A and B are shown apart, each in its own frame.
Chain A
Amino acid sequence: MSQSSVFVTTFLAAAVEVIEMVIIVVGVGSVRGWRSTWLGAGGGLAVLAVLVLAFGAALTAVPIGALRLVVGSLLLVFGLQWLRKGIARVSANGLRGMGERTASAEGVPGHGVDWTALVLSFKGVLLEGLEVAFIVVSFGLTAQALRSAVLGAAAAFVVIAGAGLLARGLVQRVPRSALQLLVGTLLSSFGTFWAVEGLGVAWPGSDAAILVLVGWYLLAAASYVGVLRRRAHRLVAQEAVR
């Protein structure tokens, strides 16, 4: 394998993981606020840097399966909470957003650290960062081109993280109720994917299964919103008859 093919292969493989990392950070930051989300992301990168420096090539000995199961399960149960709240709010308010609710009404502390945002972004960055580190170590050592593998992963991080920063403004224009539903869908999808993968169960289509999961949860959310809206209209009609 040539140096350039190692660079391109590592870039593409790392890009898939970095996209997942950026989606979680941008989604959580848009819903919960950015300060604690950046703290969590920075903490995740710092722990990752310490692990990479301490273990180096021995990093592949980290039990990634157990880590995927724990992080995936936690993201799944938390993502389902947001999905449920998002469905309830969108069915009640439509896509108009949530009006003039304050940060504390959202469950986000007005001051101090928002631990929910911090933990979510920390876990997303650490797990995905470890996966990128595994890709670099395995590709780089196998092809004896560690420098090209490191450069490929670093380029993927810069390009995807830059795109994520640009997309941040667009994401923040989405009404918060819809955003909560959307981020709940994404967290549930990644959580399901990682938890099942952590059990050692292979997904059909590998990483592409995440897209199917996103579609599955969005379809379910749209169906539930429809059911709740129809029920609300029926109740209003019954009240009017009385």
Chain B
Amino acid sequence: MILRWLKGFGRFWYGFIIGDDWTVAATVAVALVVTWLLHTAAVAAWWLPPLAAVVVVGVSLRRASR
């Protein structure tokens, strides 16, 4: 029963974070890491995550519509 609950729990978070296109979550993660690295190098990088998010959504839509 615990195993089934753990599987359900894992499936929920997989669907919540990854969904049906893992590249979106991966791009967001990479964009946030790069933003943090640029911030630690004293470079203003607030623009990077919204730009990366819009680009990856476009790429994902293009792939899905083919």
What chain B residues lie within 8 Å of A188 (beta carbons)? 53
Scoring B residues 27 to 64 as 1 if CB is less than 8 Å from chain A, else 0, what string do you get? 01100100110010000111001100110111011001
Determine the distance from Cα of A203 to Cα of B48 in the docked complex, in whole angstroms: 12
Task: Knowing A115-B12, A119-B16, say if A199 contacts B56 (CB, 8 Å).
Answer: no
Interchain nearest-CB distance for A109 vs B (Å): 11
A22 at interface, CB cutoff 8 A: no
Interchain nearest-CB distance for A218 vs B (Å): 11
Choice from A87, A213, A228 contacting B50 with Cβ under 8 Å:
A213
Interchain nearest-CB distance for A201 vs B (Å): 5
Determine the distance from Cα of A75 to Cα of B65 in the docked complex, in whole angstroms: 25
User: Is there an interface contact between B32 and A84, defined as CB atoms closer than 8 Å?
Assistant: no
Choice from A77, A83, A115, A216 contacting B28 with Cβ under 8 Å:
A77
Determine the distance from Cα of A204 to Cα of B58 in the docked complex, in whole angstroms: 26
User: Is there an interface contact between B17 and A78, defined as CB atoms closer than 8 Å?
Assistant: yes
Interchain nearest-CB distance for A36 vs B (Å): 13
What chain A residues lie within 8 Å of B19 (beta carbons)? 77-78, 81
Closest to B17 in A: A77
What chain B residues lie within 8 Å of A220 (beta carbons)? 54, 57-58
